[in-house]
Every structure is written in structure tokens, then in C-alpha cells.
Amino acid sequence: MKTSLATSPTVAQFSPLLFAGDLPKALERAAALGYNGVELNLRDSTEIDQDRVLDWARKHNLGLPSIGTGQSYFSDRLSLADLSSYVQGKAQERLRDHILFAARAGALVVLGSIRGQLENSSPAARRAGHDAAVDSTRALAAFAAEHGVRLVVEPINRYETNFLNTVHEALEFLEAVGAENVGLLVDTFHMNIEEASMTLPVLAAGERLWHVHLVDSNRRAVGMGHLDFRPILVALREIGFTGYLSAEILPLPDDEGAAETWMQGILGLCAQA
């Protein structure tokens, strides 16, 4: 299993990112600390110098495992579950741009916060939002497949969204989408809130699990909260997981301290395994 840290070339409203706003430093420190890659959280892939980013990553021998897209929701309120055809169109356009960059970077594209919220005014409205997200994801999956890109859906806790909170719900969503290039991302911070077990959802996801945010109970680095990660790593090995374990964590006590603590925590867990 490989390791990555989550960052952004810009300061973002989304806070569990390290070295946000200073991508050259993020890449330099990730390489120095022994990470294998850097996960990019981007608002708009067309607003960055893609060639320069790819060159920096190659210089540091780092992979770019995934592109987080939540800033499109937090900053621009773009959502796949929105009932406005205009918002839907803009969200799909933004995600197609992310997919084109992902094709160059060899990255997954994360469908996390950008799927949005379901309107709670009526059961019919909730169903309409769900179906809109399914249809949009299916269309995006077809576009992604043309470019050799995979998408991952991330279950997020109930305090941040009312849509796809658990791995079981996300697996049902994948069944509705029906695309082989759409899988799962699990985040142990969200799992700790929503799941009755930290291992059974991993086993249930099986070969559809392609990326992991390994985060402690307080959204800090491994070892800074109360989670026992050893059974989680055992479950990941049992399903043959070969993707990245990523540090999408709060920069506490600071960026450097969080990045180093997370890596030391992973090394300690691997030594115990």
C-alpha cells in the first residue's frame, strides 16, 4: 500500500489539507518525509498550470493518486444532486475538466462533497435529487471511461451531508449507476461516525474500494485520536487493497508536524503488522 498527503495549490474553505496554498512546498515535504504521492484538492482544474504541476510531481518522484473536487461545491455550490438543470450542467462541466486533468495525471476523480445534498421538502424531491445524481454520475463515468479514468464515491458523515453517509448506501448508489469505472473511497474519520464496525464496511466494499483516507477520530493524524487502525489495515490486506492510504488531515499542530506524525504513525503500524 502506498501513501499520499492531501493538499491544494490554493487556500481552501475545506480545512483538512496540508501545506494548502503552497504546492511546491507540499510536494517537496511529501517527498522528504517518504510519501509516495500527493492528493490534489482542486476547485477548477483549468485554473492551474497543469504542465508545471506534473513536472513538479515527476521531479519529486511522486504520484498524483486522486483529485478531490469538493471545492467546486464549497466555493461554487455545484452539485450533482441539484434539481436545477443549470447547476447540473455546470457541475458536470467542471467534473469533465477534472477528468481530463486526471487522465494526464493518472489520478482518480473523487465524487465527495460535490454530489451535494438531497432536498428534504418531500420524499419526491429527495428521490429526484438521488436520481439526478445517479444519471449525472453515469454520464460522467462514460466520459471518464473514454479517457481511461476511474471515479470514486466517498461516503461522508451525516453532519456534512444527508446523501450517502455509509458504505452500504454508497454501494447501492454504485449499483444504480452501473459503471465498472466507478468505485469507492472510504475515509476512517467519516466511518467512525457512521459505521457500526470499522472493518466490515471495508470487507463489504472489497474490490470496489480504490482509495482510503486514513484519518483519526478527531480528523487529525494517525495516532492523535482513539482509532485502532490495525484491524483496518488487516481488512485492507484481506481484500487485496493496493491503492493509496492518504492523509486528508487537519494541519495540527501545523502542516509539518501533522505530515510527520501521520507518516510516523503509519510506519509504526506497519512495524506491528
- Summarize pLDDT for 78-128 with one digit per residue, the tens: 999 999 999 999 999 999 999 999 999 999 999 999 999 999 888 999 999
pLDDT at 273: 58
pLDDT at 121: 83
Q: Which of 28, 47, 154, 194 is catalytic?
A: 154
Residue 89 to residue 111: CA distance in whole angstroms: 16
Q: Which of 28, 47, 172, 248 is catalytic?
A: 248
The domain limits of the chain are 2-272
Q: Judge contact between 152 and 108, C-beta under 8 A.
A: yes
Q: What nine digits make up the cell of 198? A: 470499522
Other beta carbons within 10 angstroms of residue 261's beta carbon come to: 20
Tell me the per-residue pLDDT of 13-62, one tens digit each, with 9 for 90 and over. Answer: 778 999 999 999 999 999 999 999 999 999 999 999 999 999 999 999 99
Other beta carbons within 10 angstroms of residue 175's beta carbon come to: 9
Tell me the per-residue pLDDT of 192-226, one tens digit each, with 9 for 90 and over. Answer: 999 999 999 999 999 999 999 999 999 999 999 99
Question: Please, what is the Cα angle at 236 between 111 and 173, to 5 degrees?
Answer: 30
- Find where cell 521531479 sits: 59
Averaged pLDDT for residues 177-185: 98
CATH class of the domain defined by 2-272? alpha beta
Residue 68 to residue 79: CA distance in whole angstroms: 14
Residue 248 designated active-site = yes
pLDDT at 269: 85
- Find where cell 470487507 sits: 203
Q: Is the pLDDT of residue 139 over 70?
A: yes
Residue 169 designated active-site = no
Beta strand pairing call for 209-213 and 182-187: parallel
